[in-house]
Amino acid sequence: MIELKNIEKYYANKGVKSYILRHVTTSIKQGEFVSIMGPSGAGKSTLLNILGMLEEPTYGQYEFMGEDVVSLNERKRIELYRNHIGFVFQAYHLIDEMTVAENIEAPLLYKKVPGSERKSRVADILDRFNMVAKSDLFPNQLSGGQQQLVGIARALVAQPSIILADEPTGNLQSAQALQIMDLFKKLNEEEGITIVQVTHSEVNAAYGSRILHLLDGVIKEDVTVQQTV
């Protein structure tokens, strides 16, 4: 579903190019659960952002479901977000002024889903996440783990085919982190949603099916994980 060929990203500063990513070539198939690992500054987040079309590569080819993303115009790109990609962030990035239910509903609004269907889908997902009681609360009234659950719910409500998660558990306590990772695994296995996550934690990475090790912008290792958990 994702094909990367020779992706490069660098910032030119006073004629000196500082590379973030070099010659990244890989492909991710439907249904995979990929973890991107590596030390700080290795380019993990940048790679994820490129996958999520939040940043453009300086050079290289990126095909998403057979379409060349680099040449897409903004409107097309937004179409792709709306229909195929869900984002989960380390800092949750919920909209503070909106309630839990409203936050979850937001992507559906942009997808122009009709009102009644929106309501039922939001209700569905709240139910699945056991958050019905919290639907009218504001993000700052929730714990970090709960906020991240809302973040994931929001990513899922639009029924994406891929979830991109940037250190989804980075701000959470370990118990909550495990809960989130279990959820990811379940989504991946039961609903066949492709998941790409950036993580520091070996434990988290072990939930996935594949690990990309990044070092100084280069893929050093690409290993398939033996399911132990």
Partner 1 sequence: MFKLNFKIALRNLWKHKAYTFINIIGLSIGLASCMLIFIFIHYQLSFDMGFKNKDRIYRVVTNWKYSNYNDFSKGVPVPLIAAVRNEFASLEKVAAIIKRGGIIRIKDDAGRDIIKTREVVYYTEPDYFDIFDMSWIFGKPRQALSQPNTVVLSETIAIKFFGSPEKAIGKSILYGDNINLKVTGVFKDMPQNSSSPLDIVISYQTFNSKKYTNWDSVSSETECYVLLKDGVSLADLQITLAQFNKKYYQNKNIQGNQNNTFQELKDIHFNEHYGNFAGTTITKKEIYGLVTIGLFLILTACINFINLATAQSVSRSKEVGVRKVMGSKRKQLILQFLTETFIVTLVAMLIACVFTELVLPDMQNLFKKQVSFSLFGHPVIFVFMIVLTILVSFLAGFYPAMVMSGFSPALAIKNKVVANAGGLNLRKALVIVQFSITIILIIGTLVIMEQMQFLRQKPLGFNTDAVAMVNVPGSSYDQKKYNTFKQKVLQIPGVEMLSFCQNAPLSDEITTSGFNYNDRKNNDFEIRISKADENYFNLFDLKFIAGKVFLKSDTISGWVVNETFLKKMNISDPQDVIGKMLNAINGNGANIPIVGVVKDFNDKSLKEDISPLAIYAEKSEYYKAAIKIDSKQLLPAMKKIEHLWNNTFPDNVYNASFVRDNINNYYKDEYVMGILFRASTGVIIFISFIGLFGLISFVATQRTKEIAIRKVLGASTLELVKMLNGSFLLMVFFANLVASPLAYIFVSKWLSGFAYRIELDIWPFVLAMLISMLITLITVSIRSYKSAIATMIDTLKYE
CB of 221 to partner 1, least distance (A): 25
Q: How far apart are the first and last CA of the chain?
A: 26
Based on the shown chain and the rule CB under 8 A, indicate whether residue 132 belongs to the binding site for partner 1: no
> If DSSP states are collapsed to H, E and C, what string results for 137-148?
CCHHHCCHHHHH
Structure tokens at 222: 């690409």
Cα(218)–Cα(118) distance, rounded to whole angstroms? 42
CB of 105 to partner 1, least distance (A): 10
**Residues within window 12-71 making contact with partner 1, judged by CB under 8 A:** 45, 49, 52, 54-55
Based on the shown chain and the rule CB under 8 A, indicate whether residue 216 belongs to the binding site for partner 1: no
Based on the shown chain and the rule CB under 8 A, indicate whether residue 78 belongs to the binding site for partner 1: yes
Based on the shown chain and the rule CB under 8 A, indicate whether residue 148 belongs to the binding site for partner 1: no
Among residues 229, 226, 222, the alpha carbon closest in space to that of 4 is found at 222
Binds partner 1 by CB under 8 A, chosen from 44, 154, 210, 213: 154
Cα(119)–Cα(191) distance, rounded to whole angstroms? 22
Using CB under 8 A as the binding criterion, the count of chain residues that bind partner 1 stands at 25
Phi, psi at 42, each rounded to 5°: -80, -15
Spacing of C-alpha 47 from chain mean position: 11
Pick the closer one to partner 1 by CB: 40 or 228. Answer: 40
Binds partner 1 by CB under 8 A, chosen from 12, 13, 66, 75: 75
Cβ neighbours, 10 Å, residue 207: 24
Based on the shown chain and the rule CB under 8 A, indicate whether residue 107 belongs to the binding site for partner 1: yes
Based on the shown chain and the rule CB under 8 A, indicate whether residue 111 belongs to the binding site for partner 1: yes
Based on the shown chain and the rule CB under 8 A, indicate whether residue 146 belongs to the binding site for partner 1: no
User: Which residues contact partner 1 (rule: CB under 8 A)?
Assistant: 45, 49, 52, 54-55, 74-75, 78, 81-82, 87, 89-91, 93-97, 106-107, 110-111, 154, 158
